[in-house]
């Protein structure tokens, strides 16, 4: 995905519309005060809202039946490409978002065109529904689990998209859950996600119109998050739009692997944290699920998954579990386990797992601290050597 400088005329404001006839005209008029290029996609509305726009200088597209907000956004993206735009900025038709915040998105896109920008709503405003607060925390949490990316408001519909994100990634959901899916897959594709603080207006409860179906849409969101979680730990790579893949870590060439990761602008502290996490989880008796747990944890705290998994592999049986079991046995009985037999390791396996856990409570943090510090120190040394090499090359140039 490549963009040179983006001009204001390459941005299209998009208003997805579904039965918000009472507010859409005001929203569109205020959008036109901020920008000349506005498109409304009427997604099968039955309240005649689009007819209130006929005297405004705005393009209106219509779906004859309701196909979902995601389909409305994709329809807008296709139209935007045909008309020579490079980005769309979506804003809801229910007047929740303030069109006066549009210049924030325009400036951000022109500053960094290859990113997705999401409006972070100010939830100190009046009349914020409890369901919206919960939904924001819920979506933010799962976005972080599935990608390691952090946003303040993953549910907000006020966004700026590069068209390449909508054109070249495959999406399976077409309704509200589309807006979660597009963020996850954009992050997997290497596209930066950024917050933009915005204002928000929620009408009093009796006046508020929401088309969110608490049963259907929550089921769809849960099913989507389950699929995305499974995909996030699958062994095959994600489709990339920005080529910045982090190469796998190899213990055959540890120094070169660290150099490669540092070249991806991963800090030594993040590398040390990944090593510590892998060793900590690798020491625990997470039988048959070490890798899955490590991948989820590394994604959640935003450290390199390759290094975390490689660190956990250092703790594979028999050495580390044996050390943990010996230490755990000592904690329980005040002596070391010397009788290695079918009875002690087979028939008493539940006791050994418990002792493995007890021993890991001491050895896990110890290994994590030592291993994390070693990787941090080596990474800092490699980073400083790289900086020194660049500095020497610059000073030697005539």
Q: Which pLDDT tens digit goes with each residue over 95-113?
A: 999 999 999 999 999 999 9
Q: Is residue 91 part of a domain?
A: yes
Kindly report whether the peptide bond that precedes residue 56 is cis, defined as omega within 30 degrees of 0: no
How many domains, in total, are found in the chain?
2
Residues 187 and 112 in one domain: yes
Could you tell me the pLDDT band of residue 212, with boundaries at 50, 70 and 90? low
Q: At residue 320, does pLDDT exceed 90?
A: yes
315: three-class secondary structure by DSSP: coil
**Where in the sequence is the domain holding 318, given as residue range(s)?**
254-396
Last residue of a domain, one of 200, 232, 264: 232
- Residues near 226 by beta carbon (within 8 Å), at least 6 away in sequence: none
pLDDT at 216: 73
Q: Is residue 130 part of a domain?
A: yes
Q: Is residue 321 part of a domain?
A: yes
Tell me the average pLDDT across 368-395. 85
CB 283 within 8 A of CB 324: yes
Distance CA(354)–CA(285), nearest Å, equals 9
- How high is the mean pLDDT of the chain? 88
Q: Helices 130-147 & 178-188, crossing angle to 10 degrees?
A: 30
Last residue of a domain, one of 177, 199, 232: 232
Residues 260 and 224 in one domain: no
Residues 33 and 131 in one domain: yes
| CATH number of 77's domain | 3.90.550.10
Distance CA(48)–CA(349), nearest Å, equals 70
Could you tell me the pLDDT band of residue 390, with boundaries at 50, 70 and 90? low
Strands of the chain, DSSP E: 11-17, 38-43, 59-63, 87-90, 116-121, 159-162, 193-198
By C-alpha distance, which of 24, 166, 43, 33 is closest to 91? 24
Q: Is residue 244 part of a domain?
A: no
Tens digits of residue pLDDT in 246-299: 556 778 788 888 888 888 778 999 999 999 999 999 999 998 788 888 888 888
Q: What is the 3-state secondary structure (H, E, C) of 207-240?
A: CCCCCCCCCHHHHHHHHHHHHHHHHHCCCCCCCC
Residues 97 and 134 in one domain: yes
Q: At residue 245, does pLDDT exceed 50?
A: no
Q: Is residue 2 part of a domain?
A: no
Buried b (16+ CB within 10 A) or exposed e, 214-245: eeeeeebbeebbeebbeebeeeeebeebeeee
Higher-confidence position of 398 and 325:
325
Q: Is residue 239 part of a domain?
A: no
CB 93 within 8 A of CB 27: yes
Residues 141 and 72 in one domain: yes
pTM of the model: 0.70
Residues 127 and 199 in one domain: yes
Residues 258 and 228 in one domain: no
Residues 211 and 295 in one domain: no
Residues 293 and 360 in one domain: yes
Q: Is residue 238 part of a domain?
A: no
Q: Which of 151-155, 294-298, 350-354 has the lowest mean pLDDT?
A: 294-298
Q: Which of 35-44, 62-71, 215-224, 371-380 has the lowest mean pLDDT?
A: 215-224
Tens digits of residue pLDDT in 183-201: 999 998 989 999 999 999 8
Q: Is residue 216 part of a domain?
A: yes
Residues 95 and 188 in one domain: yes
Distance CA(278)–CA(308), nearest Å, equals 4
Residues 217 and 259 in one domain: no
Task: DSSP letter for 346, please.
Answer: I
Bridge partners (DSSP) listed for residue 59: 39
Residues 386 and 261 in one domain: yes
């Amino acid at each position: 995905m490549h963009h040179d400088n983006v001009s204001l005329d390459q941005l299209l404001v998009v208003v997805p519309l579904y039965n918000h006839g009472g507010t859409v005209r005001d929203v569109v008029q205020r959008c036109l005060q901020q920008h000349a290029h506005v498109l409304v996609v009427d997604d099968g509305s039955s309240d005649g809202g689009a007819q209130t726009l006929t005297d405004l200088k705005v393009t209106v597209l219509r779906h004859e039946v309701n196909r979902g907000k995601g389909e409305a956004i994709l329809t807008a993206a296709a139209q935007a490409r045909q008309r020579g735009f490079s980005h769309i900025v979506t804003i809801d038709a229910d007047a929740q978002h303030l069109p006066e915040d549009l210049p924030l998105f325009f400036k951000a896109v022109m500053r960094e065109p290859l990113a997705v920008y999401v409006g972070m709503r100010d939830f100190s405003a009046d009349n914020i529904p409890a369901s919206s607060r919960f939904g924001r925390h819920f979506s933010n949490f799962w976005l972080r689990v599935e990608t390691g990316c952090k946003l303040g408001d993953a549910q907000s519909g006020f966004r700026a998209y590069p068209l390449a994100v909508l054109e070249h990634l495959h999406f399976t959901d077409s309704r509200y859950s589309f807006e979660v899916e597009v963020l996850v897959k954009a992050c997997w594709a290497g596209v930066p996600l950024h917050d933009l603080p915005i204002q928000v207006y929620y009408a009093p409860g009796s006046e508020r119109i929401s088309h969110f179906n608490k049963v259907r849409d929550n089921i769809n969101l849960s099913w989507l998050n389950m699929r995305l979680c499974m995909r996030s730990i699958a062994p095959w790579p994600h489709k990339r739009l920005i080529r910045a893949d982090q190469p796998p870590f190899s213990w055959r060439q540890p120094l070169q692997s660290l150099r490669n990761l540092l070249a991806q602008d991963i800090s030594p502290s993040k590398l040390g944290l990944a090593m510590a996490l892998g060793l900590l989880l690798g020491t625990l008796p997470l039988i048959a699920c070490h890798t899955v747990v490590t991948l989820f944890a590394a994604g959640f705290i935003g450290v390199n998954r390759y290094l975390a998994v490689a660190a956990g592999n250092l703790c594979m049986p028999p050495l580390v579990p044996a050390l943990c079991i010996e230490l755990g046995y000592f904690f329980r009985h005040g002596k070391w386990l010397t009788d290695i037999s079918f009875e002690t390791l087979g028939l008493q396996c539940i006791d050994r797992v418990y002792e493995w856990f007890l021993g890991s409570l001491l050895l896990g943090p110890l290994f994590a601290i030592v291993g994390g510090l070693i990787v941090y120190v080596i990474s800092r040394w490699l980073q400083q050597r790289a900086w020194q090499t660049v500095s020497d090359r610059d000073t030697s140039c005539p």
